[in-house]
Amino acid sequence: MMVKIRGIEFESNTENSMGLEFYNLSHRFGYQCPNWPYFRDVQIERMHYMAKSGVLSQTMTHTMHVTTHIDAPAHVVQGTPFIDEVPLPHFFGTGLVVSIPKKKWEQITADDLEKACGHAIRKGDVLIINTGWHKEYEDGDYFPYCPGLVSSAAEWMIEKGVKVVGHDTQANDHPLATAIGPHRNGPLLPHLAKEYLEWSGGIAWDEAFPEWEPVHNLLFKNGILGIENVGGDLDAVSGKRCTFAFFPWNWDRGDGCIIRLVAMIDKGQNYRIEAGEAF
């Protein structure tokens, strides 16, 4: 099936000559896209445009930890690989998209993962977690009130041999285990202390989350990378086994990279990876 975009025909995502179905699992990137609380806004300038130069050319200033992106271990753990040092197979593979519905500040635990996919997970899988929070992806409450992974979930992934984990939340950790809460150069949002105390029924946020980014540290020290802010067509592939591709830039000493996370399904099982034979 062909689709026409601005007068040009392209093969569609789900009906094409390869027989593969492609699903975008990335949020948009661009002007005024949602940003973590202490990052500068994305800046995009047209250096050349049609009336001026007959071509369109734009320059951008932004962090790599905006929209859907993958962290390099070196983002948090000193002495670990930068994004260009991670072997290419780490950015491609098969795995699961699991539904684990969560609300404001709820934790994603090992028990949640075991119930959702313990029977189906395989060593070397890519694991994508759909909490439903991607529907809240906007400039505002998405970041401070996200549900989040906790240490038991990271330990479960290490035990199972997961290769990469992606999730539709703001970071590889619960937001209150980051600088949004009482850690490192935080709290970025100090008013949350009182709100969490009331929400939790009297537990202080530093008591509930005493460690700084424990999931980041556990995953990265064990060679498991994390994809943050997954979105797009996530609901369409939840509960399915897919093939995923999410290659970053070949960025020297990069701390992470914005990616286009794509899930692929081959219903006919007719497509192939080439054998590298001479032609």
**Residue 236 maps to a domain:** yes
CA distance 207 to 184: 15
**Average confidence (pLDDT) over 68-92:** 98
CA distance 199 to 105: 9
CA distance 176 to 104: 12
The parent domain of residue 113 ranges over: 24-265
CA distance 77 to 34: 25
Token pair of 43 as six digits: 């800046």
Place of tokens 């067509």: 233
**Residue 118 maps to a domain:** yes
**Residue 271 maps to a domain:** no
Question: What's 207's domain CATH number?
Answer: 3.50.30.50
**Residue 242 maps to a domain:** yes
Confidence of residue 1 (pLDDT cuts 50, 70, 90): confident
As a whole-number percent, the residues of the chain with pLDDT over 70 amount to 100
What pLDDT score was predicted for residue 272? 85
199 by DSSP, 3-state: which? helix
**Residue 275 maps to a domain:** no
**Residue 37 maps to a domain:** yes
Phi-psi category of residue 178: left, alpha or beta, with phi > 0 → left and psi -120 to 50 → alpha: beta
| Residue 255: C-alpha distances to residues 64, 179, 228, 239, 246 (Å) | 8, 18, 14, 31, 16
Q: pLDDT per residue over 112-158, tens digit each?
A: 999 999 999 999 999 999 999 999 999 999 999 999 999 999 999 99
**Residue 260 maps to a domain:** yes
DSSP string, 225-269: EEEESB-TTHHHHTT-EEEEE------TT-SEEE---EEEE-TT-
Token pair of 151 as six digits: 């240490």
* Residue 110 phi, psi (nearest 5): -60, -40
User: Do the beta carbons of residue 226 and residue 256 sit within 8 Å?
Assistant: no
Token pair of 44 as six digits: 């995009």
The answer to whether residue 95 scores a pLDDT higher than 90 is: yes
**Residue 48 maps to a domain:** yes
Q: pLDDT per residue over 263-273, tens digit each?
A: 999 999 999 88
Confidence of residue 38 (pLDDT cuts 50, 70, 90): confident
Q: Measured in whole angstroms, how far is the alpha carbon of residue 164 from the centre of its chain?
A: 10
| Residue 119: C-alpha distances to residues 96, 97, 122, 160, 206 (Å) | 11, 14, 9, 11, 35
Q: pLDDT per residue over 223-264, tens digit each?
A: 999 999 999 999 999 999 999 999 999 999 999 999 999 999
Instruction: Count up the domains in the chain and report the number.
Output: 1
Based on the number of CB atoms within 10 Å of its own CB, is 252 exposed (0-12), middle (13-18) or buried (19 or more)? exposed
Q: pLDDT per residue over 185-219, tens digit each?
A: 999 999 999 999 999 999 999 999 999 999 999 99
- Strand 107-108, strand 148-149: pairing: parallel
